[in-house]
Structure 1
Amino acid sequence: IALQPRQQSETSSHLKKKKKKGQVQWSTPLIPALWEAEADDSGDDDEAATPADKSELHHTLKNLSLKLDDLSTCNDLIAKHGAALQRSLNELDGLKIPSETGEKLKAVNERATLFRITSNAMINACRDFLELAEIHSRKWQRALQYEQEQRVHLEETIEQLAKQHNSLERAFRGAPGRPANPSKSFSEGSLLTPKGEDSEEDEDTEYFDAMEDSTSFITVITEAKEDRKAEGSSGTSSVDWSSTDNVLDGASLVPKGSSKVKRRVRIPNKPNYSLNLWSIMKNCIGRELSRIPMPVNFNEPLSMLQRLTEDLEYHHLLDKAVHCTSSVEQMCLVAAFSVSSYSTTVHRIAKPFNPMLGETFELDRLDDMGLRSLCEQVSHHPPSAAHYVFSKHGWSLWQEITISSKFRGKYISIMPLGAIHLEFQASGNHYVWRKSTSTVHNIIVGKLWIDQSGDIEIVNHKTNDRCQLKFLPYSYFSKEPARKVTGVVSDSQGKAHYVLSGSWDEQMECSKVVHSSPSSPSSDGKQKTVYQTLSAKLLWKKYPLPENAENMYYFSELALTLNEHEEGVAPTDSRLRPDQRLMEKGRWDEANTEKQRLEEKQRLSRRRRLEACVPGSSCSSEEEKEADTYTPLWFEKRLDPLTGEMACVYKGGYWEAKEKQDWHMCPNIF
């Protein structure tokens, strides 16, 4: 009996050694956040067992239970007979008459025999139990090892397929028979796709599978003299094209304003840290990216609030639009401005820091840019930021952008939700539009690259002028150039006035429409509109990147200045965020530690707010509770009369507080 515990201990030790050798490898996947909303709700999903596995497990547990019952019975018998043997031995010790010794010794022997038999039965039952446990332990080890090998094999297969995919792409690009880009004198574009075909609405749409024939209008550039004759004979009263040269032509060539403040022109070079994105993201397929905590290695040293402010880099387009007397001409510049906000994303595949709840960012550049901008993180789940811009040139812009993002396995979809408002004070023209979908490709293997796709409709709610913009998704098999954007500006009657064309990473041009007519139906029954236009005029051209930009996260000149230390800002300003500052300095290990501290501090504050929510209130979900218990400091929720949605609008007070340096109302978030 004394040997059995040692056998069991040896067996247990033997199993532990097997685990150490790798025959059984239990692992909990590390679920790290591309929008990083600090993972307080994230966790691994449980995998459901199959019916066959459940049946086998039940049968095994039943057998083990029966063996345990045998052991229990033997234990009871040993206790019973052991007590009887003890009594007999006590009686033997008390004997004084030798004649009785024989009978008592006989009884002792009988008891001892019964005890020995029961003990042997218990030993046999323990041996059977251990043998059964070892057999099933080995079986489970083999099953787990097989599943692990299958998983590794599947990952290797996926990577191999991705490499073959890239090889085919390179071979196709190098093929001698690949069609060239269309000439400048004949360009094709496309308007909005029919409802239900919008690539933004379908989560499973693969953006690189765009059809080759996706055009719905054709632009033909003709001579100016013929155009003016045709225009005059048609009786239209459009503004003469030559009169718009001073407004639309060379709009992007405006020199940048001089500033009294010396701005920095570089930041520390990005350290060369190697980290495999796929090794982290493969366990996050289908998850909301704002609930996946990720290290700063995948970030750039700017917050989402600063990235929103970057949209103002080409603010001079709106400054020029103020002077337009024609609303359709003004629409061209507004459309160019909306496209220009994507020009900084072509090389910027790193994600910005997800702001802390209550975090702010100001851009006070009245001296050189003629504007003041304020952003505030007004929601944490989902991540949402409110933005307000005032320009001394006569326009204001405001928006509330909520980021919705999903990892699809091959690519990441980033869908900004919310309307952007732009108002010109003098004319009262009020423009509203929404952002397009961004897609990050080559998550599995290869070089990451980003694409913009979908449709944008810009509406002037005063005149009902409209601009339909389409961002063509990149296709390996399309004759269209990469990153192409096309569009048409039309008035309230639906008459086209300008055709827009270009790319979202380089430039945009506009061409005045002098005549339009439907083309003959194609073989598939589709009919396109043919626009006869004057020669194109440049609306916007991207500024060149600073020297050494590839080692500075591909930041533009404006982006390099956004995180520069500045006196007098609110204590919640992104410039004061410690983990972001440490990352910018290249101290990434310290930045990761600091980031974890800030996330835990934010989770603690969130739990306190949720616990303080009044029981029985209308809040049904945690997100509703959070929205109900948190109030933004500089913005307030209002009903947008144009979109019918609730949105955060600037309520004032920030710049007055800055002037007084009175920040007592600001929360301690860092």
Structure 2
Amino acid sequence: MSEPKTPTPPPAGDTYKGWVFKWTNYIKGYQRRWFVLSNGLLSYYRTQAEMGHTCRGTINLATATITVDDACNFVISNGGAQTYHLKASCEVERQRWITALELAKAKAARMQAESDDSGDDFSPSSPPAAPGQGGVSQNSEVQSALRTLGSKVEDLSTCNDLISKHGSALQRSLSELDSLRMTGEAGDKIRQVTERATLFRITSNAMINACRDFLALAQAHSKRWQKALQAERDQRVRLEETLEQLAKQHNHLERAFRGAAQANATADNTSAAGPGKGEASDDDDDDNEFFDAMEEAPEFITVPADPQFHKRSSSNISGFNSDMCPDDQSLNEEPLAMNQESPSQELVPLKKRRTCISDKPNYSLNLWSIMKNCIGKELSKIPMPVNFNEPISMLQRLSEDLEYHELLDKASKCQSSLEQMCYVAAFSVSSYSTTVYRTGKPFNPLLGETYELDRRRESGYRSLCEQVSHHPPAAAHHVISNRGWTLRQEITVASKFRGKYLSIMPLGTIHAIFEKGNNHYTWKKVTTTVHNIIVGKLWIDQSGEIDVVNHTTGDHCHLKFAPYSYFSRDVARKVTGVVMDKDGKAHYVLSGTWDEKMEFSRVMQSSRGENGTEGKQKTVYQTLKAREVWRRNPLPEGAETMYYFTDLALTLNEPEEGMAPTDSRRRPDQRLMEDGRWDEANSEKQRLEEKQRSVRREREREAASQRTSSQSEESAPHDSYQALWFERCEDQITGEQIHIYKGGYWEAKDCGSWEGCPDIF
């Protein structure tokens, strides 16, 4: 890897990056590390790829001292706790780092002093007004411009102070040089003067660049605000004209409505039915035509990877796009269809979901004292305090798989089963995106605990989960959507704590069935690994392989989740896959990351390439331009203090009316933890677990007495528990023993009849 260029240091507060040699130990000596200076903090990494997840060390420059050893070496220390011995590649690069560090240190010290003095005073960096107020976007742009200009002014002030400081030092050195006799010290002093003169010149250049940036910003924003003001004036004129036209149309519609009402009344007097109904149907047709979705031409891809496909792709482009999902058109037409079926729903506003929960309290806990006796045990059998949890249950985490349910909505509209496979595969990957920062452990559900997620009006689906087994812990999940798909799964989680990391291995098969074409897909989940359990910052990785199979057509997609490696040059969290038909011919290639996005490309030709590892030949796919199929939704504001929950996760534990007595939202220890009362939550958690154990012992005694009375050891199982809403049977596709929804839950909810629910809380 070549050395990066060393530009002039940026103003304080901006990011400055580069390779610097750091002293490690007497065996390895100086090692090349990637250093990043940002917001008064100097951090370093082994490689640039580690910047997203593994920081090797950080020093706060506000309290640090910077000293120079020789031409290329310098030392940064914060009083003995942390000391970095660094070496630049040349003297000029060292001077640039020294200047950038001093700029950042001066600004960090000044900001720290201002924060200590200001207290609760108003800060120009305060967020803008809440959405919904007039001119919010303009206000935020103005605030951003003011903050940028203010930062540049502060940089000028900092550079001015440093120029004065270095100028005084240079003057003193020159004075000492004049007073010296021609002795052995003359060479050292002359060298010191040269170094300070170089530092002074670099600092002066930094100030000149800051002044140039300030002037350019002022000129650019002056023209921009003039244009924006003129645009606002023009928009105001257009709005006034539009408002006048709307007022005229409103009056016209009122007159037309009154005339139609009088005509209907006259027609009803002369004829009991007939013309009145005909007019009403015409009005409905007009309404449907007025509110119908606009059809947009699909994006055509005409530039293949291989020039020989230029002519072929242009001739076959209509056939290729006929297989594509008309995403925008189909999704825009759905609200219209729902309105035709039940027009009254349009008048009922959707329920407003909550957008925040109580902040996570900062509780200290001796992690090692709890974990040292748990090595090699299953996580479900370890009595964990709620300090390691997040305030939702495993059933709710299972329901979070529906975060990107719109992928299944789009898949149900696809004409081609092969492209439908791409959406199903992307859906199987999307469920892991919610786990990037979620290092907390969900609550283990109690036996018989349920969780419902009714989002018919917002998203068209209903979801139900039930804990059907406790040892091993297993949860059954069933989702039905009125947009043409059904999802069901039974997941058993096996986990092992290995000291440095925790492995979570979901066992079970996920089924997705589509009404259109009766396509039936199955796949399994990959292994989740939580690293740095004892020491360091927790981080999560997904690794393994997923085979998505369409049992109706024989199509399949092989997805590979690449595990993170320090030595890999690939993008972190990478996922790749190939969609093939039953004959093994590749049709689509999928690529992306499980935490950000997935894309798929149409395969035009495949061929055997050069030999890969272990003598295997790599297959080269010539594809058309990639098309994005899924992208992760951004986290809500303040997610770092709310367990890094997504918008959907924030609503999962929100109380609702008509819930079953066994619903996870009614679980008291989980509710206490969400409210920040962790000590009470720990006591309540112990009470619930002991109650569950006593109920199980009683159930085992009853099963033993039944076996004794019938004189048959095989007449009843050891634990005779039976799920309430799911029944155990053999899966016709996989041959596994699973629990399938037997119905009755939503009918019981409509009637408010929960007599059969056990008392678990």
TM-score bracket for the superposition, by shorter chain length: 0.5 to 0.7
Give the greater-gyration-radius structure (CA).
1
Counterpart of 1:531, as a letter, is Y
Cα distance, 1:593–1:492 mapped onto 2, change above 3 Å:
same
Residue 459 of structure 2 aligns to a residue in which SS? Answer: coil
- Which of 745, 748, 751 matches 1:654? 745
**Alignment match, 1:558:** 648
Whether contact under 8 Å (2:403, 2:648) holds in the other structure is: yes
In structure 2, distance between residues paired with 1:417 and 1:326: 30
Q: Which amino acid aligns with 2:741?
A: Y
Q: How does 1:464-543 map to 2 (within 5 A)?
A: 464-522=554-612, 524-543=614-633
Distance 1:492 1:354 in 2: 40
Secondary structure of the structure 1 residue equivalent to 2:387: helix
**Maintained 8 Å contact 1:251/1:538:** no
Structure 2 contact 324–416 (Cα < 8 Å) conserved: no
User: 230, 234, 237: which is aligned to 2:309?
Assistant: 230
Structure with higher RCO (Cα < 8 A, 6+ apart) = 1
- Name 1:295's counterpart in structure 2: 385
Match of 1:520, SS state, is strand
**Residues 415 and 539 (structure 1 numbering): CA distance in 2 closer, same or farther, change over 3 Å?**
same
- Residue in 1 aligned with 2:465? 375
Counterpart amino acid of residue 525 in structure 1:
G
Whether the 8 Å CA contact 1:488–1:496 is kept in 2: the answer is yes
In the alignment, the residues of structure 2 paired with residue 412 and residue 238 of structure 1 have an alpha-carbon distance, to the nearest angstrom, of 49
Q: Does 1:625 align with 2:718?
A: yes
Q: Determine which of 415, 429, 432 is the counterpart of 1:342.
A: 432
Map of 1:201 onto structure 2: none
Q: Is the 8 A contact 2:33 2:46 kept in 1?
A: no
CA displacement at 1:350 relative to structure 2 = 0.3
Question: What is the Cα deviation at residue 642 of structure 1?
Answer: 1.1
Alpha-carbon separation, structure 2, partners of 1:480 and 1:618: 61
RMSD: 3.3
Structure 2 distance, partners of 1:546, 1:251, is 28
Which residue, 537, 548, 551 being the options, matches 1:447?
537
Aligned match for 2:525, one of 435, 452, 468: 435
Aligned equivalents of 1:583, 1:254: Cα separation in 2? 43
The yes-or-no answer on 1:320 pairing with 2:410 is yes
> In structure 2, do the counterparts of structure 1 residues 176 and 412 end up closer, same or farther at CA, with 3 Å as the change threshold?
closer
Q: CA deviation at 1:230?
A: 3.3
Deviation at 1:328, TM superposition (A): 0.5
Q: Which residue of the partner structure matches residue 366 of structure 1?
A: 456
Partner amino acid for 1:529? T
Q: Which residue of structure 2 aligns with residue 638 of structure 1?
A: 729
Distance in 1 between residues matched to 2:614 and 2:307, nearest whole Å: 35
3-state SS of paired residue (2:615): coil
Counterpart-to-counterpart distance in 2, 1:520 and 1:454: 25
The whole-number CA distance in structure 2 between the counterparts of 1:468 and 1:237 is 27
Q: Deviations over 1:323-377 (max 9, x none)?
A: 1000010000001111000000010010000000000000111000100000000
Contiguous gaps of at least 5 residues in structure 2:
1-23, 36-43, 51-300, 339-345
Contact kept in structure 1, 2:521 and 2:550, CA below 8 Å:
yes
User: SS at 2:483's partner residue?
Assistant: coil
CA contact (8 A) 1:420 1:433 kept: yes
Shift of 1:177: 9.6
Taking structure 1 as the reference length, the TM-score comes to 0.64
Q: 1:225 and 1:525, CA in 2 relative to 1: closer, same or farther beyond 3 A? A: closer
Over 3 Å counting, the alpha-carbon distance change for 1:604 and 1:172 in structure 2 is farther
Relative to its length, the structure with more helix (as a share) is: 2
Equivalent residues of 1:336, 1:539 under 8 A apart: yes
Following the alignment from structure 1 to structure 2, what is the Cα–Cα distance between the partners of residues 547 and 229?
Answer: 49
Q: Deviations over 1:110-148 (max 9, x none)?
A: xxxxxxxxxxxxxxxxxxxxxxxxxxxxxxxxxxxxxxx
Shift of 1:231: 8.6
Alignment deviations for residues 432-484 of structure 1 (CA, whole Å, 9 cap, x no partner): 00001000000120001110000000000000100000000000110011111
Aligned equivalent of 2:707: 615
CA contact (8 A) 1:455 1:470 kept: yes
- State the secondary structure of the residue aligned to 2:541: strand
How many correspondences in the alignment?
462
Seen in structure 2, the aligned counterparts of structure 1 residues 177 and 246 have a Cα distance that, compared at 3 Å, is same
CA contact (8 A) 2:304 2:310 kept: no
| SS at 1:602 equivalent | helix
- The aligned counterpart of 2:758 is 667
Summarize deviations over 1:38-65 as a string: whole Å, max 9, x none. Answer: xxxxxxxxxxxxxxxxxxxxxxxxxxxx
Partner Cα separation in structure 1 for residue 329 and residue 539 of structure 2: 30
Is the CA contact 1:487–1:500 (under 8 Å) kept in the aligned structure 2? yes
1:283 is matched by which residue type in structure 2?
N
User: 1:353 & 1:547 partners in 2: Cα distance?
Assistant: 25
Distance 1:596 1:225, change over 3 A: closer
- The one of 472, 475, 478 equivalent to 1:388 is 478
Identity percentage of aligned residues: 62
Paired position in structure 2 for 1:264? 354
In structure 2, the CA distance between the partners of 1:496 and 1:272, relative to structure 1 (3 Å rule), is same
For the 8 Å contact 2:324–2:419, the answer to whether it is kept is: no
